[in-house]
Amino acid sequence: MDDRNIGLAHGNGGRKMRELIEAVFARQLGNPLLDLGADASALPAADGVLMVTTDGFTVQPLEFPGGDIGSLAVHGTVNDLAVSGATPLYITLNAFIEEGLDLALLQRLVTSLARAARESSVVVVAGDTKVVRRGEGSGLYLATTGIGIRPPQLRLGLHCILPGDSILVSGPVGDHGVAVLLAREQFGLDGDVRSDAASVLPLTRALSALPGLRFMRDPTRGGLATVLHDIAQADSLSVLVKEEAIPVRDSVRSLCDMLGYEPLYLACEGRVVAVVDPTQAEEALSRWRALPQGRDARIIGNVAAGQGRVLMETELGGWRPIEELEDDPLPRIC
Amino acid sequence: MDDRNIGLAHGNGGRKMRELIEAVFARQLGNPLLDLGADASALPAADGVLMVTTDGFTVQPLEFPGGDIGSLAVHGTVNDLAVSGATPLYITLNAFIEEGLDLALLQRLVTSLARAARESSVVVVAGDTKVVRRGEGSGLYLATTGIGIRPPQLRLGLHCILPGDSILVSGPVGDHGVAVLLAREQFGLDGDVRSDAASVLPLTRALSALPGLRFMRDPTRGGLATVLHDIAQADSLSVLVKEEAIPVRDSVRSLCDMLGYEPLYLACEGRVVAVVDPTQAEEALSRWRALPQGRDARIIGNVAAGQGRVLMETELGGWRPIEELEDDPLPRIC
More confident residue, B148 or A187: B148
Return the residue in A43, A49, A54, A323 with the most chain B beta carbons within 10 A, the one to mutate for interface testing: A54
User: Which pLDDT value is given to residue A139?
Assistant: 96
**For residues B143 and B131, what is the distance between their CA atoms, to the nearest angstrom?**
14
The answer to whether the peptide bond before residue B321 is cis (omega within 30 degrees of 0) is no
CA distance A287 to chain B (A): 23
Q: Assess A13–B contact: CB distance below 8 Å, yes or no.
A: yes
Residue type, A125: V
Contact A40, B86 (CB under 8 A): yes
Least confident of A7-16, A77-86, A102-111, B55-64: A7-16
Answer yes or no: do B11 and A331 touch at CB < 8 A: yes
- pLDDT tier for residue A189 given thresholds of 50, 70 and 90: low
User: Which pLDDT value is given to residue A190?
Assistant: 64
- The chain-wide mean pLDDT, for chain A, equals 92
In terms of domains, do A222 and A93 share one?
no
Return the residue in B34, B328, B333 with the most chain A beta carbons within 10 A, the one to mutate for interface testing: B328
The 10s digit of each residue's pLDDT in A275-309 is 999 999 999 999 999 999 999 999 999 999 998 99
CA distance B291 to chain A (A): 23
**For residues B192 and B248, what is the distance between their CA atoms, to the nearest angstrom?**
14
Write the secondary structure of B155-183 as one string of H (helix), E (strand) and C (coil).
CCCHHHCCCCCEEEECCCCCHHHHHHHHH
Would you say residue A1 has pLDDT above 60?
no
**For residues A253 and B10, what is the distance between their CA atoms, to the nearest angstrom?**
26
| Chain A residue with the nearest C-alpha to that of B228 | A14
In terms of domains, do B165 and B146 share one?
no
In terms of domains, do B92 and B220 share one?
no
- CATH no. for residue B61? 3.30.1330.10
First to last CA, chain B: 30
Least confident of A47-61, A68-82, A112-126, A181-195: A181-195
User: Which pLDDT value is given to residue B35?
Assistant: 82
Answer yes or no: do B40 and A148 touch at CB < 8 A: yes
Least confident of A15-29, A172-186, B184-198: B184-198
CA distance to A61, A72, A116, A219, A222, per residue, from A68 (Å): 8, 6, 11, 18, 19
The 10s digit of each residue's pLDDT in B153-183 is 999 999 999 999 999 999 999 999 999 988 8
Q: Per the domain annotation, does A202 fall within a domain?
A: yes
- Give the residue from B150, B183, B200 where a domain finishes: B150
Contact A213, A284 (CB under 8 A): yes
- Give the residue from B150, B172, B199 where a domain finishes: B150
In terms of domains, do B122 and B106 share one?
yes
**For residues A158 and A90, what is the distance between their CA atoms, to the nearest angstrom?**
25
Q: Per the domain annotation, does B3 fall within a domain?
A: no
Nearest Cβ partner of B145 from A49, A95, A145?
A: A145
More confident residue, B324 or A188: B324
User: Which pLDDT value is given to residue B333?
Assistant: 65
Count structural domains, chain B: 2
Would you say residue A2 has pLDDT above 80?
no
Q: Assess B16–A contact: CB distance below 8 Å, yes or no.
A: yes
Which regions in chain B score pLDDT beneath 70?
1-2, 186-191, 327-334
| Chain A residue with the nearest C-alpha to that of B88 | A40
- pLDDT tier for residue A325 given thresholds of 50, 70 and 90: confident
In terms of domains, do A168 and A75 share one?
no
In terms of domains, do B112 and B208 share one?
no
User: Which pLDDT value is given to residue B188?
Assistant: 65
Q: What is the pTM of this model?
A: 0.93
Question: Which residues sit opposite B55 in a β-bridge?
Answer: B144
Q: Per the domain annotation, does A331 fall within a domain?
A: no
User: Which pLDDT value is given to residue B37?
Assistant: 78
- Give the residue from B150, B171, B186 where a domain finishes: B150
In terms of domains, do A116 and A235 share one?
no
Sign of CA dihedral B30, A82, B130, A18: negative
In terms of domains, do B93 and B176 share one?
no
Q: Per the domain annotation, does A82 fall within a domain?
A: yes
CA distance B54 to chain A (A): 6
Q: Per the domain annotation, does B247 fall within a domain?
A: yes
- CATH no. for residue B308? 3.90.650.10
- pLDDT tier for residue A332 given thresholds of 50, 70 and 90: low
Q: Per the domain annotation, does B332 fall within a domain?
A: no
- Taking only residues 82 to 141 of chain B, the set having a beta carbon closer than 8 angstroms to any beta carbon of chain A reads 83-84, 86, 90, 92-96, 125-133, 135-138, 141
Q: Per the domain annotation, does B95 fall within a domain?
A: yes
Q: Per the domain annotation, does B2 fall within a domain?
A: no
- Taking only residues 181 to 240 of chain A, the set having a beta carbon closer than 8 angstroms to any beta carbon of chain B reads 217-218, 220-223, 226, 230, 234
Domain that holds residue A27: 8-150
User: Which pLDDT value is given to residue B330?
Assistant: 62
From chain A, pick out residues whose CB is under 8 angstroms from the CB of B132.
58, 138, 141, 331-332
Would you say residue A56 has pLDDT above 70?
yes
**For residues A10 and A141, what is the distance between their CA atoms, to the nearest angstrom?**
16
**For residues B242 and B240, what is the distance between their CA atoms, to the nearest angstrom?**
7
Nearest Cβ partner of B221 from A12, A80, A138?
A: A12
Return the residue in A2, A6, A12, A144 with the most chain B beta carbons within 10 A, the one to mutate for interface testing: A12
